[in-house]
Amino acid sequence: MKKRVVITGLGPITPIGIGKEQYWEGLKTGRPGIAKITGFPVSDYPTQIAGEVRDFNPDSYFERKDARRMDRFTQFAVAGAQLAIEDAALELDSVDRERCAVILGTGIGGLNTFEEQCRILHERGPARVSPFFIPMMIGNMGAGQISIAFGFRGPAKSVISACASSTDAMGQALRLIQGGEVDVVLTGGSEAAVCPTGLAGFCAMKAMSTRNDEPEKASRPFDKERDGFVMGEGAGILVFEELEHARRRGARVYAEVKGYGCTADAYHITAPAPEGEGAARAMKLALADAQLQGEDIDYINAHGTSTLYNDKFETQAIKTVFGDHAYRVAVSSTKSMLGHLLGAAGGVEIIATCLSLVEDVIHPTINYEYPDPECDLDYVPNRARPQIVRNAISNSLGFGGHNATLVLSKYNGC
């Protein structure tokens, strides 16, 4: 029989707050975290706004020399892991760290470091490139540094599937524990691509909002006036734990992880498959894995990017999977407040979904002002909603046609 898997620790680092309390309060009150970019000059860019993590101080988590040897995405990852471990009250000296793993998602990895060292190469020559360039830049280093920091000697791996990376990482964490290979996994994702190269690349794709004069209203998933996504940065790290292991140490449980499904569109490098066919299959697989029916789901944390086709096709996918129940299930987008955290998006969104299950509150989709006839579901517009949430799903859909869905259920102590 498969081992049961629960979530016992939450470590969000986001544009609306660091730590569970700040983050959840920001979501419930609909606080936007998007503003004009402050990290570098943006006057030459069509898009000048993003969801930056403005109050992150590496000195609060690392020795200064250690922080200098980590890209910003790795700093977020390790700091988020520390918050998650503390939230889980996980005593590291009392666990078998050979049965503790790290499975981390990132879509882009150390882009800040790559950009900086390329500049040094061109301006000052190859002799001045940092010896830490490669180990700071490579995408696996978030997982590697978490493993080193906390002595987790089980599998330590990275998952890269664009904007589905975190959700795929958590799906792999689920499978590791279900199969009895490990007891604890630090999982989720981290991303820090709000830098000149990252911004320029997405601007060149013409995929982002240019609502620079009203940044707090730029991310407006499912709204008729949406004009593109907004970049964000941060991390969402969680403690996944085998149920009996959590019970033995008296851990608080946020939710049970019931199912996971992933698919590929096999269609296009950026555009989703028509009518969200691949996303629909991922949701169906996750529900089957959880042994639940569509009618059992009370809430969907949508991918909801605020782009024309993603929102339209995700809506169609939900209708395909849920039929008439699609009009009764609550749907909301965390990205309306944070922007799109790319490879970290699934991690922060699963944290939000956990807290909805615990508190029976669904956070809103803010900036929903003008209904789109092609997006006609219940998107919990603008205000949080008290509602019983027994079972929920979270969707992540990535460039390259990657689709991933997780199913969470309220933990009833049994």
Considering the domain architecture, whether residues 179 and 229 belong to the same structural domain is answered as yes
DSSP-assigned beta bridge partners for residue 260:
406
Q: Contacts for 242-247 with beta carbons within 8 Å, 24 or more apart?
A: 242/3, 242/4, 242/5, 242/6, 242/177, 242/182, 242/183, 242/184, 243/3, 243/4, 243/5, 243/6, 244/3, 244/4, 245/183, 245/184, 246/6, 246/8
- Ordered mean pLDDT values, 10 residues apiece, the chain (414 residues): 96 98 98 98 98 95 93 98 98 97 98 97 97 96 98 98 98 98 98 98 96 98 98 98 98 98 96 95 98 98 97 98 98 98 98 98 98 97 98 97 98 87
- Exposure of 226 in the CB half-sphere (CA atoms within 13 A): 31
Q: Is residue 339 part of a domain?
A: yes
* Among 248, 276, 299, residue at a domain's last position: 248
DSSP-assigned beta bridge partners for residue 18:
13
Model confidence pLDDT, tens digit, residues 278-324: 999 999 999 999 999 999 999 999 999 999 999 999 999 999 999 99
Considering the domain architecture, whether residues 241 and 376 belong to the same structural domain is answered as no
Residue pair 107/165 in contact (Cβ under 8 Å)? The answer is yes
**What one-character-per-residue DSSP string does 58-99 give?**
GGGTS-HHHHTTS-HHHHHHHHHHHHHHHHTT--GGGS-GGG
Q: Which residues are catalytic?
A: 163, 303, 340
Q: What is the pLDDT at residue 308?
A: 96
Q: Is residue 196 part of a domain?
A: yes
Q: Is residue 414 part of a domain?
A: no
Q: Is residue 155 part of a domain?
A: yes
Q: What is the pLDDT at residue 271?
A: 92
Indicate the residue type of 82.
Q
Model confidence pLDDT, tens digit, residues 58-77: 999 999 999 999 999 999 99
CB atoms inside a 10 Å sphere around CB 36: 12
Considering the domain architecture, whether residues 230 and 329 belong to the same structural domain is answered as no
Q: What is the pLDDT at residue 90?
A: 98
Considering the domain architecture, whether residues 82 and 182 belong to the same structural domain is answered as yes
Is pTM beyond 0.85? Reply is yes
Considering the domain architecture, whether residues 224 and 96 belong to the same structural domain is answered as yes
Considering the domain architecture, whether residues 159 and 213 belong to the same structural domain is answered as yes
Q: What is the pLDDT at residue 413?
A: 84
Indicate the residue type of 380.
V
**What one-character-per-residue DSSP string does 190-240 give?**
EE---SHHHHHHHHHTT-B---TT-GGGS--TTBTT---B-BB-EEEEEEE
Give CA separation, 98 vs 80, 93, 95, in Å: 21, 12, 9
Domain extent, residue 371, equals 259-408
Q: What is the pLDDT at residue 264?
A: 98
Q: What is the pLDDT at residue 1?
A: 85
Considering the domain architecture, whether residues 29 and 72 belong to the same structural domain is answered as yes
Under 8 Å CB-to-CB from 41, ≥6 apart: which residues? none
Q: What is the pLDDT at residue 414?
A: 78
Considering the domain architecture, whether residues 322 and 185 belong to the same structural domain is answered as no
Considering the domain architecture, whether residues 75 and 197 belong to the same structural domain is answered as yes
DSSP-assigned beta bridge partners for residue 237:
11, 188
Rounded CA separation 168/28 (Å):
26
CATH assignment of the domain containing 343: 3.40.47.10
- Report, in angstroms and rounded to the nearest whole number, the Rg of the chain calculated over CA atoms: 20
Under 8 Å CB-to-CB from 65, ≥6 apart: which residues? none
Q: Is residue 385 part of a domain?
A: yes
| Total domain count, the chain | 2
Considering the domain architecture, whether residues 239 and 359 belong to the same structural domain is answered as no
* Among 248, 269, 292, residue at a domain's last position: 248
* Among 248, 282, 302, residue at a domain's last position: 248
Q: Is residue 191 part of a domain?
A: yes
Q: Is residue 254 part of a domain?
A: no
Q: Is residue 253 part of a domain?
A: no
Considering the domain architecture, whether residues 80 and 117 belong to the same structural domain is answered as yes
Considering the domain architecture, whether residues 379 and 242 belong to the same structural domain is answered as no
